[in-house]
Structure 1
Amino acid sequence: MTVRETITPRLDLLLAFMMALAAVGTAWAGFQSAKWSGVQANAYAAAGAARSEATREATGAAQRRNADIISFTAWLNALNAEIIDDPSLRPEGGYTPDRKRVSGFLFNRFRPDFRPAVDAWLATKPLFNPDAPPTPFDMPEYQLPAETVSEGLVDEADALAGTARTANQRSDNYVLTAVVFALVLLFAGLASKATHSSTRLTLMVMAAVALVGCLVTLLMFPVEV
C-alpha cells in the first residue's frame, strides 16, 4: 500500500468530519436565527402595545389638563366678576372659597389632583406678588399621573424597540454564519471529488479555515433558549 493510498482514506475521514461539523453548525445557526427572530417579533409587538398604551394615557392626561384649564379659567372669571362688584372680596393672600358664591362653587369642584397646585399657587400671593408664577400650571405641584405613566411607557417602548433591533442583528449574524457553513460544505464536497492533490489540499484548507472561523464565531454569539 502506497503512502497516497494510506493518506487518502484519512483525508476522506477528515473531510467527512468537517462536513458533519458544518452540517451541525448550519442547523444550530438556523435554529438560533429563528429564535432571535422570535425575540425580535415579540419585542416589536410589546413595543407597539406599550406605545398604544402610552398614547391612551397621554390622551387622558391631555383631557384632564384641558378640564383643569377650563375650570380654572371659569373660576378666575367668576372671582374677577365678584371683585369688580365688591372690591372688598379681593384676596390679600390666600383664598377661602365661599360656597354661596359662584367662585367658591367652582373652586370646590376642582379636581383633587389639581387642588394642591392651586393652593401652592395661591400661597405665592399671585394678585400682589409680581414674581409669582402666572398660573397653577406652572407650579411643580401640578402633576398629571397619566402623563408620567405615558412617559414611562414611551421609554419602555423605546427600550423594547432597541431589544428588537438587537435581536434582528443577532438573527442576521446567525444567518451569515449559516451561509459560511454552507461554503464549508461546498469546499469540503469539492475537495472530496478533486483528483489533483494540490487542488484538494487548497479546498481542504479553505474549508478548514472557514469552519474554524465559524465555530469560534458561534462560541462568541449570544444564545437564545
Structure 2
Amino acid sequence: MNTPADRATRVQDIVTVFLLSITAVLTAWCGFESSKWGGEMSIAFSQASSARVQAAAAAGEARDARQFDLQIYTQWVVATADEREQLAAYVEDRFPERLKVAFDAWVDGGMAEDSPLVVDAYVAPGDAEAADLTARADGKFQEALENNQRGDNYSLLTVMFALVLFLGAMSQRDITRWVSRTLLGLGVVVALVGIGLLTTFPIKI
C-alpha cells in the first residue's frame, strides 16, 4: 500500500524528470540561438566594414574631383585677375557640369562666398554615396552590437538552465527530504524565471 510519503516522492520524481527534460531542451535551444545571433553579429560587422571601405573610396573620388575643380577654378581666377577675358572664357567653357552649375549659382549670388566650391549647389561626385555608405556602416555596426547582446543574453540563459539541471540532479541525491524538495523548488523557480526571460528575446531561425 502506498503511503502519502511514497506518493509525494513519486510526484517529486515526476516533477524532477519533467523539469530536467524541459530544461535540457531549453538549454540546447539557447545554445543554438546564441550561435545564430553570433553569426548575425559577424555578418553585420563584415557588412559595416565593407560599407566603410566603399565609403572611403567614394570620399576619395569626391576629394579628387574637388582637387581637379579647384585647379581649373584657380586657372579662371588667374586669367580673370590678369584681365585675360578670352582665356577666362575658354577656361569657364571647360568647367565640369558640377562646377558650372555651382559657378552660375555663385555668380547669381553676387560671389558672396569664397568660391563656387563652397556653395550648396556644388556637389562633388561621390559625396552623396560616401554619406549613404557611412550611414549604412554606422547602422550595420549598431546592428552588430545589438546582435552581440542578443547572443550574450541567450548565453546567460544557458547558464541559468544549466543551474536548473544542477539543482534538479542534486535533488535526486540521497539527502534529507526537505533539502531535496528545497533544491527542486529552487530549480523550478529559476526555470520559470529563465522561461519568462526567454519569451522576451527575439528568435533567429
Give the TM-score normalised by the residue count of structure 2.
Answer: 0.95
Q: Distance in 2 between matches of 1:135 and 1:113?
A: 13
Separation of aligned partners in 1, 2:10 and 2:96? 88
**What is the number of residues matched between the two proteins?**
204
Equivalent residue for 1:108? 93
5 Å matches for 1:17-36? 17-36=18-37
Alpha-carbon distance between aligned partners in 1 of 2:142 and 2:161, rounded to the nearest angstrom: 29
Q: Which of 131, 142, 148 lines up with 2:128 in the alignment? A: 148
Matched, 1:164 2:144: yes
Is 1:133 paired with 2:104? no
Consecutive unaligned residues in structure 1, runs of 5 or more: 84-88, 90-100, 127-131
> How far did residue 190 of structure 1 move?
0.3
In angstroms, what is the RMSD of aligned CA positions?
A: 1.3
Q: Greater Rg, structure 1 or structure 2?
A: 1
How big is the shift at 1:16? 0.5
| Structure 1 counterpart SS, 2:164 | helix
Match of 2:184 among 191, 204, 211: 204
CA distance in 2, matches of 1:145, 1:77: 25
Please give the TM-score of this superposition, normalised by the length of structure 1. 0.87
Equivalences for 1:1-225 in 2 at 5 Å? 1-83=2-84, 101-126=86-111, 132-225=112-205
C-alpha distance in 1 between matches for 2:120 and 2:192: 61
Q: Could you tell me which runs of 5 or more consecutive residues in structure 2 were left unpaired when the two chains were aligned.
A: none
1:10 Cα deviation from its structure 2 partner: 1.8
How far did 1:143 drift? 1.3
Q: Which runs of 4+ in 1 moved over 4 A?
A: none
The one-letter amino acid paired with 2:130 is S
Aligned-partner Cα distance in 1 for 2:93–2:8: 98
